[in-house]
């Protein structure tokens, strides 16, 4: 069937505008700037990629408004050109709406697979699907149109909102409350007990029970192989709109603000509070008992070891401004040359490595 220019315009009148070309153009699928597929729609952020797209056989080009203004000076052929203020946001909206991805078909043909185990007093909203060999514990509540993949365990007492997607092979503790439209990808475990042990006089370690819940806001996305612990006594929260990449660990008693971005390999020790709209580069880490204010960005690879009270961009270890961290890392490659120079100067002055006169005279 494909997607026409008219459909794009009618669905997103405030997001993009038709600029020039063939208003009858139809795109069969989206494609990347690197692989310009025939009869596709492509989202082009830069001018050099725009020229390449014009020379290809794509059907529809969506580009930034600063680039689109040059469209009329090129031969468009059968192509259509749209402009937008934010290319990547437009990509996310157009593709999600007009080219949806079917990501879990394990329960196709049956709302509740015959092999699934459903506990007592479970509340399943309208349109809920449960995949093969999944286990839903007692008193679980799952909101309307949510999907539970194969081999997933949701323990007794858990509460999930509407339109959630819990992929295959996920563990959800009974101490979890999730809002609407949350997604948890395979091999993740959330709401688990934290790494809490108390040593006795003999050096033996004894488990500390955890009573708190883990509360996810709306639109939280959790990648694969992610572990999020619950609170020891108090409930902890992951704010609405926060996105967590694969292979992240968030220890007990943490609180994450709204609309944060945690990229792959992020690790946070216990009892840390992170504000709203914070972003962490890959393999960043945060020490325990740290408070981070709103609107902070931490580049790869950053270690946060003290409170951060001022919004801004940071990097490195010890933590410094991002600009200072770039300069510091750039200087590392010069250290061998600096060391050799200092050694020659010391030798010329007759000094040893401690700055003492080699002959024993005081300086």
Active site positions, annotated:
252
Cβ pair 97, 77 in contact under 8 A: no
Ramachandran quadrant class, 271 (left: phi over 0; alpha: psi -120 to 50; beta: rest): left
CB 145 within 8 A of CB 127: yes
Q: Are 40 and 57 in contact (CB under 8 A)?
A: no
As a whole number of angstroms, the distance between CA 263 and CA 245 comes to 5
DSSP SS3 for 209: coil
Q: Is the CB of residue 257 less than 8 Å from the CB of residue 277?
A: yes
Q: How far apart are CA 16 and CA 62, in angstroms?
A: 8
d(CA 351, CA 363) in angstroms, rounded, equals 9
């Amino acid at each position: 069937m494909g997607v026409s220019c008219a459909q794009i315009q009618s669905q997103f009148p405030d997001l993009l505008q038709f600029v020039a070309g063939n208003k009858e153009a139809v795109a069969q699928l989206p494609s990347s700037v690197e692989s310009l597929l025939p009869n596709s729609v492509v989202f082009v952020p830069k001018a050099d990629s725009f020229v390449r797209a014009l020379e290809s056989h794509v059907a529809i080009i969506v580009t930034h408004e600063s680039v689109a203004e040059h469209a009329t000076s090129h031969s468009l052929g059968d192509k259509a050109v749209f402009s937008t203020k934010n290319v990547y946001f437009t990509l996310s909206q157009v593709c999600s709406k007009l080219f949806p991805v079917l990501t879990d078909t394990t329960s196709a043909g049956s709302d509740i697979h015959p092999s699934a185990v459903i506990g007592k007093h479970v509340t399943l909203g309208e349109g809920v699907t449960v995949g093969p060999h999944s286990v839903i514990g007692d008193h679980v509540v799952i909101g309307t149109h949510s999907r539970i993949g194969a081999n997933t365990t949701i323990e007794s007492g858990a509460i999930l909102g509407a339109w959630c997607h819990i992929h295959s092979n996920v563990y959800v503790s009974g101490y979890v409350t999730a809002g609407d439209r949350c997604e948890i990808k395979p091999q993740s475990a959330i709401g688990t007990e934290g790494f809490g042990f108390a040593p006795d006089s003999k050096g033996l370690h004894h488990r500390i029970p955890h009573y708190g819940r883990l509360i996810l806001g709306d639109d939280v996305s959790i990648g694969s192989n992610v572990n999020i612990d619950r609170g020891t006594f108090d409930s902890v929260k992951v704010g609405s709109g926060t996105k967590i990449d694969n292979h992240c660990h968030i220890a007990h008693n943490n609180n994450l603000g709204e609309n944060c971005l945690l990229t792959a390999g992020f690790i946070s020790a216990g009892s840390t509070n992170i504000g709203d709209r914070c972003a962490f580069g890959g393999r960043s880490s945060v020490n325990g008992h740290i408070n981070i204010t709103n609107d902070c960005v931490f580049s790869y690879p950053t270690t946060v070891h003290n409170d951060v009270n001022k919004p801004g961009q940071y990097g490195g270890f010890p933590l410094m401004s991002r600009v200072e961290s770039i300069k510091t890392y750039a200087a590392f490659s010069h250290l061998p040359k600096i060391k050799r120079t200092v050694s020659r100067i010391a030798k010329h002055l007759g000094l040893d490595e401690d700055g003492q006169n080699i002959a024993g005279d005081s300086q």
